[in-house]
Structure 1
């Protein structure tokens, strides 16, 4: 298996900063913003994006990891119970964050999962990489980079660096 670098750690940092400013502009600020990072790979990116939002806005950003295990239509699993410290999404602007958007099934499941937290005012999707190949009608609101790929290739975001690689 070969691994080709697509985004260096510096490029990822610049991209996350750009995404933060796009979120602030489209959302007209960060008041009422609730950030959900999709477990597990989207949560690390959500923390980086929330940090960038805080730095750009000067305001604290509420963030949580969102489990979608019980909401997948392509995997078996029981619907997860809300954690005891679950935030309320009622009337808030929700930002779903994931590392890579591929078929759209994870994002579709995240929409179902976030509704258990209440009825948000808006739900928007931010992804670091959009690689295409949709199986459901999902379109991200904020995209770091569009990377056309073959169906059998993998785009991997290494959260420790962070960097993006293509594996085939």
Structure 2
């Protein structure tokens, strides 16, 4: 098995800065925004994007976590991690622009599960999707609004996102 690094720490920082600016521009400012990261690394990325948006706009952006484990349609086929707590910031999501943040977009099934989970929590004004890596291979009609890096890959390759807060190192790799 071979592993190659496709994004280094500086590349990840640049991508998150761009995503943060794009979110602000798309929303015409920080008003009404809420970021919900999909565990595990999506939560870390959401917090980073939230801090960047705050830095650029001088507005506090609520950041939370949305666990989608029990909403997945492939639980019977794939072993999965233990559910993580869902943390919705005070004030909820009703009438807000929710930006879902994930590390890698692949089939779209996690995002479909996230949309189902959101229905149980409230009714946002809009839902947007930000992902650090879009590797294609969609099985559902889901498209990200904000992408750090489009990374074409084959189905048998594995894309790994490593973040300092979770893994002690900062890089995106592809294993083949």
Q: Same fold (TM over 0.5)?
A: yes
Q: 1:115 aligns with which of 116, 119, 141?
A: 119
In the alignment, structure 1 residue 136 sits paired with structure 2 residue 140:
yes
Distance 1:81 1:144, change over 3 A: closer
Question: With structure 1 as the length reference, what TM-score do the two structures score?
Answer: 0.92
SS at match of 2:123: coil
Query: What residue in structure 1 maps to residue 110 of structure 2?
Result: 106
Q: How does 1:3-18 map to 2 (within 5 A)?
A: 3-18=3-18
RMSD: 2.1
Q: Which TM-score applies when normalising by structure 2?
A: 0.88
State the secondary structure of the residue aligned to 2:29: coil
1:85 Cα deviation (Å)? 6.8
- Secondary structure at 1:61 match in 2: coil
Contact 1:37–1:96 (CA under 8 A) maintained in structure 2: yes
Structure 1 residue runs of 4 or more that deviate by more than 2 Å after TM superposition: 79-87
* Number of aligned residues: 167
**3-state DSSP of counterpart to 2:148:** strand
- Residue 82 to residue 98, structure 1, CA distance change in 2 (3 Å): closer
The answer to whether the aligner puts 1:67 opposite 2:67 as a matched pair is yes
**Residues 87 and 117 of structure 1 are in contact (CA less than 8 Å); yes or no, is this contact kept in structure 2?**
no
Match of 2:173 in 1: 165
Q: What's the counterpart of residue 97 of structure 2? A: 93
- Displacement of 1:39: 1.1
